[in-house]
Amino acid sequence: MIRDALPADWQRRLVVIPIRDHLYSDNLRLAEVHEKVLAVTDEEDRVLLVGHRKDHSSDYLDLFPQWDFQDVP
């Protein structure tokens, strides 16, 4: 559904990676996200983190300052 909502040239570049929800462990979440992203990207690739800042439970979105962020209302 997400891929179909994008222009055709973007669809080929989109990679959706499922991540386990490590409750109460930002370190485990951070490590898993980095590992999975590094497995599908090269150093020069641009990474865009897409998320929604609804309340304090969205603080994990700030753990990735090295990537661009797109807030989705």
Query: Can you give the pTM of this predicted structure?
Result: 0.70
Residue 55 reports pLDDT greater than 90? yes
Q: What is the CA radius of gyration of the chain?
A: 13
Average pLDDT, the chain: 90
Per-residue model confidence (pLDDT) at position 73 = 87
Cα–Cα separations (whole angstroms), residue 45 to 26, 40, 53, 66 = 24, 10, 25, 12
| pLDDT tier at 57, thresholds 50, 70, 90 | confident
Per-residue model confidence (pLDDT) at position 53 = 92
Query: What tens digit of pLDDT does each residue of 15-40 get?
Result: 888 988 888 888 998 999 999 999 99
